[in-house]
């Protein structure tokens, strides 16, 4: 670690040390040691490197040894400390949600909820509190790929004036299991199989589908995970849900049930599965890079906080148990009231310190918020604190700045590993008679957290509410709420996943559940798998609720954006590209708030037909079209001929076509397109010729539809 302090500055140390010579490496002037090793030396504003104890270090390139070729000395405390620290850099990754990415921002209340909750943060419109959000995948390890088919964690920490409130949610409003006691089982089943330790970050394997096929309560969530919700285009373009029913409690002590929603201002958008597979290879960091770049460029992602509020009468009349986390409450039945906004406007300074060490917990709630008896929530309330004790190494992880409240806090908890907040004075217990500030903090019956006095009585038993037993009706409702394009994606996803399952009875057992969900879905999957007969429907545990109305809010395509803002276009260019057309496209894109990146044969760039040199963002083999929302093909005639010989250029076009992207092209690109398999007969309304600035503007306007879905029917035969 380097420390800036007057005592460790070494303003005059630029001259070479003994035995060293000055050399120049490109723009860097360095000193070279006897073995040719590079030494960079403090001086001016460059602070002196020190040990953790603050001892200035003279040489960070060579360990101390006897003679130039002799053994290393144990007394070399700098070497020992450096290696010792490196050896202990890793902490256990999260047992689930290991791969994640976080950012800072704020929450601003836009509508007071004082009538239903005493939560301080929900009283005064216009007031802001700091927030930290961590998005994650569930199954993969920390180094896995962003575009795994998986649930995304959406965990929000609000640093309110009355302590930290965590809404530890997902981008899917229901869960696989109804009781937390099954959590280790569902997670074990989806993680790599224990004997072979694969597959990584994938649900497409026997164990997972074996578990699901024997746990019908998972079917509703399985529908969501097989939908495009599980492959979001960006963390910015997805919803978040608190999943469980919580309670709000107002000043009069009245309780109202609440479900939490985060609604992205950017609209919803996902990628297609074949694209996701390729993104994982081309840029495993696709989502984190996207979030980082958006925030760094000032395009701050924003969500509205929505609440569904309901009372006991609604709960009693609802077709399902509001305590069952495998069920949602359709927005059409209980509208989502939008009461605040969450804006992410600052990236982290240090990934480990903030994103890795942040500790969310469902039990972090503030006065005015309370739990319900949802058995999944009750189990979660135990799990987070427990796991974090191990993951973060001791009970004092609340002292880590990212976890510490930003409001004053006082208590008598003390000591333990790495204690950073150590109270002064004599009192470390209460009651005490020291009085005043000496006596330390005291209770506050008026402001303090009090639990809602729900009346509980009953026998001790291990049993579930019978109302939990309908596992298919909402799965069917979800499926029927999708557009035709989305239904086909769900059919394809089930077919893909079950095709990776090696044990035929497991495949058939999953399909037997789908028969209860929708016969067309089950038939399509059975045919996709090549099953000879459609399996019989699995016997439902409880009669299904007929005639649930489709809920348009459940579809992504029905809730897309109305602009192409925040999306990205890849422009394929070569030497000789038409400068006017390139400018027209980039101008039209910028006017929309769309990012552009040039993809060229060489990253150094291309010379436009007017002689201007423009640098490229990607070399063609590192910038496949899966990284962009739409593509534009602007090669010169010679450039198109060159790229016809380049497989990655042909893939650029073929994939953009197959993934139903909007394609803009200059006349000269036609032979290249044909070589890539996009023949004149394949041209459709999603492929637009660009000749004039007006064409460029029209192209960007067309892109607002995000994809030209009608094309998909032409690109899939099996
Ligand atoms: C509605 C169901 C659930 C949702 C929405 C959910 C959500 C999340 C999220 C978003 C995270 C990542 C937090 C972060 O970014 O640091 C997480 C982590 C975790 N979840 Fe859950 N989870 C659910 C169910 C459960 C259940 C039932 C259990 C256990 C009984 C559980 C145990 C854990 C554990 C142990 C972690 C790792 C926490 C850490 O190491 O910091 N989750 N969960």
- 380 touches ligand 1 (CB under 6 Å): yes
Residue 104 gets the label, from left (phi > 0), alpha (psi -120 to 50) or beta, of: beta
pLDDT of residue 6: 44
Task: Give the bridge partners for 600, in sequence order.
Answer: 619
* Residue 264 contacts residue 189 (beta carbons within 8 Å): no
The SS3 assignment for 253 reads: coil
For residue 636, pLDDT over 80 is answered with yes
* Residue 22 contacts residue 31 (beta carbons within 8 Å): yes
For residue 44, pLDDT over 90 is answered with yes
Under DSSP, the state recorded for 669 is: G
Q: Which residue bears the tokens 């009750």? A: 378
Task: Give the bridge partners for 31, in sequence order.
Answer: 22, 39
Q: Which residue bears the tokens 């005043």? A: 436
For residue 12, pLDDT over 80 is answered with no
From 9-23, 234-248, 492-506, the region with the lowest mean pLDDT: 9-23
Q: How confident is the model at residue 687 (pLDDT cuts 50, 70, 90)?
A: very high
* Residue 622 contacts residue 629 (beta carbons within 8 Å): no
Question: Per CATH, is 470-557 categorized as 1.20.1250.20?
Answer: no
pLDDT of residue 9: 44
pLDDT of residue 423: 86
List active site positions: 97, 170
pLDDT digits (tens, 9 = 90+) for 330-348: 999 999 999 999 999 999 9
For residue 50, pLDDT over 80 is answered with yes
- 377 touches ligand 1 (CB under 6 Å): no
Question: Distance, CA 635 to ligand 1 centroid (Å)?
Answer: 49
Q: How far apart are CA 683 and CA 665, in angstroms?
A: 11
pLDDT of residue 7: 43
Report the chain's C-alpha Rg in angstroms. 29
User: Which among 452, 472, 453, 436 is positioned nearest to 216, based on CA atoms?
Assistant: 472
Across the range 126-152, mean pLDDT stands at 98
Return the best residue to mutate from 94, 98, 379 for the ligand 1 pocket (most ligand atoms within 8 A of CB): 94
- 170 touches ligand 1 (CB under 6 Å): yes
Task: Determine if residue 94 is labeled as part of a ligand binding site.
Answer: yes
* Residue 464 contacts residue 688 (beta carbons within 8 Å): no
Tokens linked to 521 = 């879905």
pLDDT digits (tens, 9 = 90+) for 520-573: 999 999 999 999 999 999 999 999 999 999 999 999 999 999 999 999 999 999
Across the range 391-396, mean pLDDT stands at 97
Mean pLDDT, the chain, rounded, equals 96
Question: Distance, CA 355 to ligand 1 centroid (Å)?
Answer: 15
Instruction: Please report, in angstroms and rounded to a whole number, the separation of the first and last CA atoms in the chain.
Output: 57
Give the helix/strand (H/E) hosting 506: helix 504-517
Question: Distance, CA 97 to ligand 1 centroid (Å)?
Answer: 7
Question: Distance, CA 493 to ligand 1 centroid (Å)?
Answer: 25
CATH of domain 87-202+232-399: 2.40.180.10
Question: Per CATH, is 562-714 categorized as 3.40.50.1980?
Answer: no
Which value does ipTM take for this structure?
A: 0.95
Q: How confident is the model at residue 14 (pLDDT cuts 50, 70, 90)?
A: low
pLDDT digits (tens, 9 = 90+) for 96-119: 999 999 999 999 999 999 999 999
pLDDT digits (tens, 9 = 90+) for 188-221: 999 999 999 999 999 999 999 999 999 999 999 9
Q: For a pLDDT cut of 70, what percent of the chain falls above it?
A: 98
Residue 19 gets the label, from left (phi > 0), alpha (psi -120 to 50) or beta, of: left
Strands (E), 26-141: 28-32, 38-39, 100-109, 128-137
- Say how many C-beta atoms besides its own lie within 10 A of residue 390's C-beta: 11
The SS3 assignment for 206 reads: helix
User: Which among 268, 208, 270 is positioned nearest to 241, based on CA atoms?
Assistant: 268
Task: Determine if residue 183 is labeled as part of a ligand binding site.
Answer: yes
Alpha-helical runs (H) found in 419-502: 473-480, 484-500
- 485 touches ligand 1 (CB under 6 Å): no
- Say how many C-beta atoms besides its own lie within 10 A of residue 587's C-beta: 15
- 175 touches ligand 1 (CB under 6 Å): yes
Task: Determine if residue 384 is labeled as part of a ligand binding site.
Answer: yes
Nearest CA to ligand 1 atom 4: 169
Return the best residue to mutate from 96, 262, 393 for the ligand 1 pocket (most ligand atoms within 8 A of CB): 96
Q: How far apart are CA 664 and CA 696, in angstroms?
A: 8
For residue 424, pLDDT over 90 is answered with no
Q: How far apart are CA 520 and CA 593, in angstroms?
A: 41
Return the best residue to mutate from 99, 153, 190, 259 for the ligand 1 pocket (most ligand atoms within 8 A of CB): 153
Nearest CA to ligand 1 atom 6: 169
- 364 touches ligand 1 (CB under 6 Å): no
Atom of ligand 1 nearest to the CA of 94: 40
Tokens linked to 680 = 């004149």
pLDDT of residue 3: 45
Question: Distance, CA 190 to ligand 1 centroid (Å)?
Answer: 15
pLDDT of residue 437: 84
pLDDT of residue 5: 46
User: Which among 186, 190, 1, 28 is positioned nearest to 82, based on CA atoms?
Assistant: 1
Task: Determine if residue 707 is labeled as part of a ligand binding site.
Answer: no
For residue 4, pLDDT over 60 is answered with no
pLDDT of residue 16: 63
Domain layout of the chain by residue ranges: 1-61, 87-202+232-399, 470-557, 562-714
Cis peptide before 500 (omega within 30 of 0): no
Q: How far apart are CA 236 and CA 262, in angstroms?
A: 11
Separation in Å, CA 655 to CA 233, 446, 617, 714, 716: 16, 62, 19, 13, 13
Question: Distance, CA 176 to ligand 1 centroid (Å)?
Answer: 13
- Say how many C-beta atoms besides its own lie within 10 A of residue 310's C-beta: 19
CA 492 from centroid of its chain's CA atoms: 23
User: Which among 387, 384, 419, 449 is positioned nearest to 120, based on CA atoms?
Assistant: 449
Atom of ligand 1 nearest to the CA of 170: 5
* Burial annotation 622-636 (CB, 10 A radius, 16+ → b, else e): ebbbbbbbbbbbbbb
Under DSSP, the state recorded for 8 is: G
Strands (E), 138-269: 152-160, 163-170, 240-241, 246-249, 255-264
Between 10 and 324, the higher pLDDT residue: 324
pLDDT of residue 435: 85
């Amino acid at each position: 670690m380097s420390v800036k302090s007057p005592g460790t500055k070494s303003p005059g140390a630029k001259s070479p040390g003994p035995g060293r010579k000055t050399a120049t490496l490109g723009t860097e002037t360095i000193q070279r040691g006897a073995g040719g090793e590079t030494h960079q030396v403090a001086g001016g504003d460059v602070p002196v490197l020190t040990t953790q104890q603050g001892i200035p270090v003279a040489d960070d390139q060579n360990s101390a040894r006897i003679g130039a070729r002799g053994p290393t000395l144990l007394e070399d405390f700098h070497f020992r400390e450096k290696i010792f620290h490196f050896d202990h850099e890793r902490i256990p990754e999260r047992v689930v949600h290991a791969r994640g990415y976080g950012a800072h921002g704020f929450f601003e209340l836009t509508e007071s909820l004082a009538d239903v909750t005493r939560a301080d943060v929900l009283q005064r419109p216009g007031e802001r509190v700091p927030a930290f959000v961590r998005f994650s995948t569930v199954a993969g390890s920390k180094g896995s790929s962003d575009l795994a088919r998986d649930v995304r964690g959406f965990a929000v920490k609000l640093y309110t004036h009355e302590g930290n409130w965590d809404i530890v949610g997902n981008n899917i409003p229901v869960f696989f299991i109804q009781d937390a006691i099954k959590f280790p089982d569902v997670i074990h089943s989806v993680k790599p199989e224990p004997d072979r330790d694969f597959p990584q970050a994938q649900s497409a394997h026997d164990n997972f589908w074996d578990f699901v096929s024997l746990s019908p309560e998972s079917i509703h969530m399985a529908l969501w995970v097989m939908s495009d919700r599980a492959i979001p285009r960006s963390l910015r373009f997805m919803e978040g849900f608190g999943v469980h029913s919580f309670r709000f409690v107002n000043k009069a002590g009245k309780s109202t049930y609440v479900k939490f929603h985060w609604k992205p201002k950017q609209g919803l958008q996902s990628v297609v599965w074949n694209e996701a597979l390729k993104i994982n290879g081309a840029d495993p960091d696709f989502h984190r890079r996207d979030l980082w770049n958006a925030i760094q460029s000032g395009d701050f992602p924003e969500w509205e906080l929505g609440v569904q509020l309901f009372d006991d009468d609604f709960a009693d009349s609802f077709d399902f148990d509001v305590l069952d986390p495998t069920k949602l409450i359709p927005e059409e039945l209980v509208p989502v009231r939008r009461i605040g906004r969450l804006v992410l406007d600052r990236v982290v300074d240090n990934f480990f310190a903030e994103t890795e060490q942040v500790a969310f917990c469902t039990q972090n709630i503030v006065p005015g918020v309370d739990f319900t008896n949802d058995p999944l929530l009750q189990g979660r309330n135990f799990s987070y604190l427990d796991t974090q004790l191990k993951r973060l190494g001791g009970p004092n992880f609340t002292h880590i700045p990212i976890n510490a409240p930003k409001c004053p806090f006082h208590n008598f908890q003390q000591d333990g590993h790495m204690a950073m907040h150590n109270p002064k004075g004599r009192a470390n217990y209460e009651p005490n008679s020291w009085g005043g500030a000496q006596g330390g903090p005291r209770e506050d019956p008026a402001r303090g957290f009090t639990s809602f006095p729900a009346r509980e009585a009953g026998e001790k038993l291990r049993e579930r509410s019978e109302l939990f037993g309908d596992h298919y009706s909402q799965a069917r409702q979800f499926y029927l709420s999708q557009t035709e394009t989305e239904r086909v994606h769900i059919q394809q996803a089930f077919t893909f996943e079950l095709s990776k399952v090696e044990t035929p009875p497991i495949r058939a057992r999953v399909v037997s559940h789908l028969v209860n969900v929708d016969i067309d879905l089950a038939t399509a999957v059975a045919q996709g798998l090549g099953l000879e007969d459609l399996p019989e429907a699995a016997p439902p545990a409880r009669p299904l609720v007929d005639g649930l109305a489709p809920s348009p809010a459940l579809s992504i395509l029905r809730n897309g954006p109305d602009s192409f803002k925040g999306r990205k276009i890849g422009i394929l260019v070569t030497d000789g590209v038409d400068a006017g057309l390139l400018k027209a496209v980039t101008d039209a894109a910028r006017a929309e708030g769309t990012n552009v990146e040039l993809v060229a044969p060489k990253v150094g760039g291309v010379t436009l037909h007017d002689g201007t040199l423009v640098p490229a963002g990607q070399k063609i083999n590192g910038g496949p079209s899966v990284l962009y929302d739409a593509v534009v093909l602007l090669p010169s005639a010679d450039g198109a001929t060159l790229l016809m010989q380049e497989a990655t250029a042909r893939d650029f076009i073929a994939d953009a076509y197959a993934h139903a992207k909007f394609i803009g092209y200059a006349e000269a690109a036609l032979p290249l397109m044909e070589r890539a398999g996009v023949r004149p007969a394949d041209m459709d309304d999603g492929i637009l010729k660009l000749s004039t600035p007006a064409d460029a503007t029209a192209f960007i306007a067309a892109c607002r539809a995000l994809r030209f879905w009608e094309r998909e029917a032409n690109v899939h035969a099996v």
